[in-house]
Amino acid sequence: MKQLKNKHFVLGLTGGIACYKAAELCRALIKAGASVQVVMTEGAAQFITPVTMQALSDRPVFSSQWDPRESNNMAHINLSRDADAILIAPASAEFVAKLLHGRADDLLSLMCLARPIEKVPLIVAPAMNKEMWSNPATQRNMAQLTQDGVHVLGVGAGEQACGEVGDGRMLEPLEILEALESFFTRKLLLGKKLLITAGPTYEAIDPVRGITNLSSGKMGFAIARACQRAGAQVKLISGPVSLETPHGVERLDVTSAEQMYTATLESVDSADVFIATAAVADWKLSSVVDQKIKKKNEKSPPKLDLVENPDILKTVAQTSRAKSGALYCVGFAAESENLQALAVEKRIAKGVPLLVANIGPATFGLDENALLLVDAEGAKELPWASKEELATQLVEELAKRIS
């Protein structure tokens, strides 16, 4: 969350049960290195106390335009001028309507109206009942706010405090943090469509056994997240992993190399960039046994007849769009030795302009990695760092190459 470090947020709370999430959000912003000034409406104070938010933000909470702590009675001016953004979370349906019509009958709405629009962005995280969210009036309000330059976050779906189930829940604090990180990230890939494969594949032997590898998918998911933050439209095709889908990324889950091959070919025609981070199994069984193979008294184990899986990266790199330069292909290689020599050889064999290599056994499952970027000009090292940081560096490299 380096984009949030040293940022100053005015966090506005309006009336709604989702105020309990605002406490966690405030704490998460502080942990990310930001500072937070909380401003609450009278309705918000019915759901969470100012004392709680003061303790979490380490700043006095404001709720009244006539707060005596402001000697000039201009809290709506003073509080907003140093902010990097005003974040309303939760934003009730009633407060959204206020924003739309420019009403200013409390400190928070007055501050939003009086903020320097070009300098202090307004970010809104709606929270309301599903019927309120789907009401045409609310949808019109959201559309108009977006047109007016307000950054409206999406909503979550699920069980609501009223007992109903549907859209309208405020996003979870970590989802909002991701959206903020994306908001403040330079849009180096704005307008680009990226297709990314990630994780391992699994090739069945019988109903309970299979061939796979130690890839966790963390590097590929970090790249998908970094690309989305950089303004790209990202589709992620993932093998079997236990990772949350990055905010704003479209995800398709597959299991086998054949499934990943089919899904990739069905999606790649609309992509500007293809990044193959998945650790795809090179072989599969010629036929899968329908029932579990039983252990018998014979000393020799059963023979496994293996056949080669289709080469996804090589196939995509040989398409007319890739050869013409309309599609930029990036390959990944996990090696156990002779990293640079094998990476150079593999880049040529796959026919891609850029190949990213790493020592697989040294990083599988970890949150850190070290990468070697190999192209026709030579090799460049990205030293050991978090996979999130390396993904950001890779986006910068990619932006230079496709600009």
> 128 vs 73, which has greater pLDDT?
128
The yes-or-no verdict on residue 298 having pLDDT over 70 is no
AA letter at 178: E
Q: What are the distances in angstroms from CA 147 to CA 133, 141, 190? A: 18, 10, 19
**Beta-strand relationship, 85-91 and 8-13:** parallel
> Taken in order 225, 226, 228, 229, is the CA torsion positive or negative?
positive
* Cα separation, 15 vs 122, whole angstroms: 18
Cβ neighbours of residue 111 under 8 Å, at least 6 residues apart? Answer: 10, 12, 39, 75, 76, 79, 80, 86
AA letter at 328: Y
The pLDDT of residue 1 is: 66
Terminal Cα distance for the chain, rounded: 26
Q: Which fold has domain 193-402?
A: Rossmann fold (3.40.50)
pTM comes to 0.85
Q: What is the pLDDT of residues 304-359, one digit of tens each?
A: 899 999 999 999 999 999 999 999 999 999 888 999 999 999 999 999 999 999 98
Q: What is the pLDDT of residues 212-264, one digit of tens each?
A: 999 999 999 999 999 999 999 999 999 999 999 998 899 999 999 999 999 99
Q: Can you count the helices (H) and strands (E) in the chain?
A: 14, 19
Compute and round to an integer the Cα radius of gyration of the chain: 25
Catalytic residues: 162
Which part of the chain has CATH 3.40.50.10300? 193-402
* Residue linked to tokens 């990044």: 275
Which part of the chain has CATH 3.40.50.1950? 2-183
Cβ neighbours of residue 199 under 8 Å, at least 6 residues apart? Answer: 215, 216, 217, 220, 238, 239, 240, 241, 243, 278, 279
Q: What is the pLDDT of residues 39-58, one digit of tens each?
A: 999 999 999 999 999 999 99
Both tokens assigned to 242: 């236990």
Residue 22, CB-side half-sphere exposure with 13 Å CA sphere: 37
Q: What are the distances in angstroms from CA 352 to CA 115, 121, 180, 327? A: 49, 41, 34, 10
> 67 vs 178, which has greater pLDDT?
178
> 269 vs 403, which has greater pLDDT?
269
Does the 2-183 domain belong in CATH 3.40.50.720? no
